[in-house]
Amino acid sequence: MNTLEVRNLTVSIEGETILKNFSLTIPKGEVHALMGPNGTGKSTLAKVMAGHEDYTVESGEVLLEGVNVLGKEPDEIAHAGLFLAFQYPLEIPGVSIANFIRAARAARLPEGEAINAVEFYKELYEKMDALKMDRKFTARSLNEGFSGGEKKRCEILQMSMLEPRLCVMDETDSGLDIDALKIVSDGVNLMRGPDRSFLVITHYQRLLDYIVPDVVHVMYDGQIIRSGDAELAKELESKGYDWIKEAHEAATAGV
Amino acid sequence: MSETHLQNEAIHVDTERGNFSYPENYEFDAGVGLTEDTIKYISDVKNDDDWVREFRLKALEVFRKKPMPTNWADKDLENIDFDKIRYYLSKGQTPSRSWDEVPDDVKETFERLGIPEQERKFLAGVEAQFDSEAAYSRMKEDLEKEGVIFVGSTEGLAKYPEIFRPYFGKVIPTADNKFSALNSATFSGGSFIYVPKGVKLKQPLQAYFRINAENFGQFERTLIIADEGAEITYMEGCTAPKFETATLHSAVVELVALKNAKIQYITVQNWSSNVFNLVTKRGLADEGAEVKWIDCNIGSRLTMKYPGVVLKGKGARGEVLSIALANDGQHQDTGAKMMHLADNTTSNIISKSISIGKGRSTYRGQVHMPKHLKNCKNNTECDALLINTNSRTDTYPAITTRGQNNTVQHEASVSKVSAEQIFYMMQRGLSEGEAMSLAVNGFVNDLMKAFPMEYSVELKRLIDMEMEGSVG
Ligand SMILES: Nc1ncnc2c1ncn2[C@@H]1O[C@H](COP(=O)(O)OP(=O)(O)O)[C@@H](O)[C@H]1O
Ligand SMILES: [Mg+2]
């Protein structure tokens, strides 16, 4: 079964159509990159899949492991296995990283079961070590006063602690310097496996040197206009988005 | 999860654990309404001394003459119908010293509220008041040997007038406000505590106030005296079932900390949404003494409460740390008063309010530092958290400082829990209620660290219940 199937999804906000008959399939265990210029609708796709209510779904389906998630609450979709690493993570004052992740884990347990604190911290510290995060971070308020890079690392820490089936990473590379990019990519690569799929949204090819995708999609104006292998990203990097825009416009004009 | 959704789902006040009642069965009942006869009835059943009888009757006159504070406070006060309230209800006059002797329904009530369990775990003494009188009262024996007195108001005035009478009604005079006058006329129950010189209580004393009857007014009266160098922590908790009609709770709490004494007074209020909670609380701090109010207001229809400290002696310290949570249909009108009357006195006020849905929070602060004083300090911090756009918060700090060597610092902030923050937390798998609860806990987190552990745990539980109650 495919981890994700987005079928003919059309989405609007405030009367403006953002996603236009958008379709995308990610088979189990694959890493797909979604690239495209700013304002194309990449974050919109991510948020709609995660159950954000501001968007109006005009038509289409989003199947997560075969089950349509459109219309479900964000927490239900999270429990079904989708994790969204936010492009702009929110600050939650006074809530420590450790307590937040613990609450998120506890929310997944059956009624009456409790988290084993010792095991939890052991796992948390191991994963923080892997992401080269200072252990002092656990006590800091979630994202409050974090640098851009710290926020992104913290997203990946949460992702690794919550063990999702589908990881949607929205511009995780932005705000990261090259060292941080490598560390975060290593963290992500460790999570790769036959039962987990990734949708890596990025504007730049750089990240894909470290997280090598199985498939690259190029998105423009609410649609995927071209798909290919990892080479496509490199081509895009050297030729720029205009190349693909022009090719697309020429093709559609000819119809 | 949009704004409107947040509003509609907002979290009703019911803190379910307290929402139950037992059929009424009272031996003493002053009937409905308030007249001289009501007061005389109360005095008769209590066998009040003549001076107490007079004190009550005079207070009734003051109560009648005093206007409602509706010129500045909530107009909802006008909806209190004093003629429909029952002013005294009790099953008996002497509290039991063993839970086994407490009537079954009353015992069950307190068991459901977890009181006997807390007593075993961490308290030095407990008094459990059911409507007008304490049904249970007990203190650890070693404290009795040290001379600590922990009794109800009636017993305190009758048995130990030499200790309590000099301070009774002195920190908060009858005429302080309309509700202090009402309490002075009708008071029953509450705790009278005396801690002798140098005695430091290691564990808190606790009182629990339970309203069981409908249309009832509870008027407990508390007076705590910590003699020189003594230390005491007192905790009070309260609940009532959710009735259709209004219930009135109007207490007067006076604290006296003599030279170098310390009093910490902790309130965990958890009233149902039909309760008018109009309480006057003030402490007197002598030289080098400290009075600290930790006040948490959850629930009620309208709470008006401004704990104060009169910093009477040199180097006295006063503190008010408060958390107020105003849910849909509630108004938490709270604050603090600091009266600096001597040199080198310091006061600290930290107030955190949370307003949800149509809930409303008001902060009123008063800091008074006359010109002739030297080296006085006040720090005031008011933070408000709004959960959705309809919530309302007002801050009325009144700081009167004169004089050159005094410093006053005031900070205020208003923040919101945004729909995006809730979305972010829900994306991690938290329900809407859990997400809001976490945001609220985060908001009060730094203040809670200053609270005793048992209290923080209870408070967190109440906030979680309040936030999750209806959303799930
Ligand atoms: N909440 C919103 N309200 C109004 N317009 C929005 C909102 N979110 C996104 N848009 C619009 O949708 C388009 C796509 O935005 P987005 O999905 O963020 O693109 P990308 O992530 O590809 O840069 C943009 O034109 C943006 O202005
Ligand atoms: Mg984006």
B403 and B370 Cβ atoms separated by less than 8 Å: yes
Q: Ligand 1 within 6 A of A15 CB?
A: no
Is A117 part of any domain? no
Residues A207-237 have pLDDT tens digits of 999 999 999 999 999 999 999 999 999 988 8
Query: A169 to each of A26, B31, B125, B128, B307, how far by Cα in Å?
Result: 14, 68, 56, 56, 50
Place of tokens 């965990």: B268
Judged against a pLDDT cut of 50, whether residue B1 lies above it is answered with: no
Task: Report the length, in residues, of chain A.
Answer: 255
Q: Ligand 1 within 6 A of A18 CB?
A: yes
Cβ–Cβ contact B16 with A under 8 A:
no
Residues B275-331 have pLDDT tens digits of 999 999 999 999 999 999 999 999 899 999 999 999 999 999 999 999 999 988 899
* Chain A residues within an 8 Å CB radius of B432: 73, 75
Greater pLDDT, B194 or A175: B194
**Ligand 2 centroid distance, CA of A200 (Å):** 12
Which residue from A92, A71, A38, A20 is spatially nearest to B437, judged by alpha carbons?
A92
Residues B17-39 have pLDDT tens digits of 677 888 888 899 999 999 999 99
Euclidean distance between CA atoms A219 and A147, whole angstroms? 29
Euclidean distance between CA atoms A1 and B156, whole angstroms? 77
Is A24 part of any domain? yes
Judged against a pLDDT cut of 80, whether residue B393 lies above it is answered with: no
In chain A, the number of structural domains is: 1
**Ligand 2 centroid distance, CA of A220 (Å):** 13
Euclidean distance between CA atoms B252 and B280, whole angstroms? 5
**Ligand 1 centroid distance, CA of A16 (Å):** 10
Cβ–Cβ contact A66 with B under 8 A:
no
| C-alpha A48, offset from chain centre | 12
Q: Which two tokens stand for residue B270?
A: 């958890």
Is A32 part of any domain? yes
Query: B39 to each of B32, B59, B110, B187, how far by Cα in Å?
Result: 12, 10, 29, 10
Q: Which two tokens stand for residue A182?
A: 């490598």
Greater pLDDT, B458 or B370: B370
Residue B198's pLDDT band (cuts 50, 70, 90): very high
Is A113 part of any domain? no
Is A109 part of any domain? no
pLDDT > 70: what percent of chain B? 95
CATH code, domain with A205: 3.40.50.300
Is A110 part of any domain? no
Residue B74's pLDDT band (cuts 50, 70, 90): confident
Place of tokens 């979305």: B423
Residue of A nearest to B446 (CA): A94
Low-confidence ranges of chain A (pLDDT < 50): none
Which residue from B413, B459, B452, B442 is spatially nearest to B296, judged by alpha carbons?
B459
Give me chain B's average pLDDT, please. 90
Among A200-214, A236-250, B227-241, B455-469, where is mean pLDDT lowest? B455-469
Element (H, E) at B348: strand B346-356
pLDDT of res. B16? 60
Q: Which two tokens stand for residue B160?
A: 């130990």
* Chain B residues within an 8 Å CB radius of A94: 441-446
The pairing of strands B205-210 and B231-239 is parallel
Residue B113's pLDDT band (cuts 50, 70, 90): confident
pLDDT of res. B17? 66
Residues B144-171 have pLDDT tens digits of 999 999 999 999 999 999 999 999 999 9
Residue of B nearest to A162 (CA): B428
Min Cα distance A7 → chain B (Å) is: 22
Residue of A nearest to B433 (CA): A75
The pairing of strands A197-202 and A31-35 is parallel
Q: Which atom of ligand 1 is nearest to the CA of A170?
A: 21
pLDDT of res. B397? 77
**Ligand 1 centroid distance, CA of A43 (Å):** 7
Q: Ligand 1 within 6 A of A41 CB?
A: yes
Mean pLDDT of B393-419: 83
Q: Which ligand is nearest to the CA of A22?
A: 1
Which residue from B269, B199, B207, B203 is spatially nearest to B454, judged by alpha carbons?
B203
ipTM tops the 0.90 cut: yes
**Range of A154's domain?**
4-95+147-254
Beta-carbon contacts of B44 under 8 Å, excluding residues fewer than 6 positions away, are none
Do A95 and B431 make contact, defined as CB atoms within 8 angstroms? no
- CB-based burial, B50-87: b 16+ in 10 Å, e otherwise: eebbebbeebbebbeebeeeeeebbeebeebeeeebbb
Judged against a pLDDT cut of 70, whether residue B391 lies above it is answered with: no
A75 and B430 Cβ atoms separated by less than 8 Å: yes
Is A15 part of any domain? yes
Q: Ligand 1 within 6 A of A202 CB?
A: no
Is A74 part of any domain? yes
pLDDT of res. A246? 84
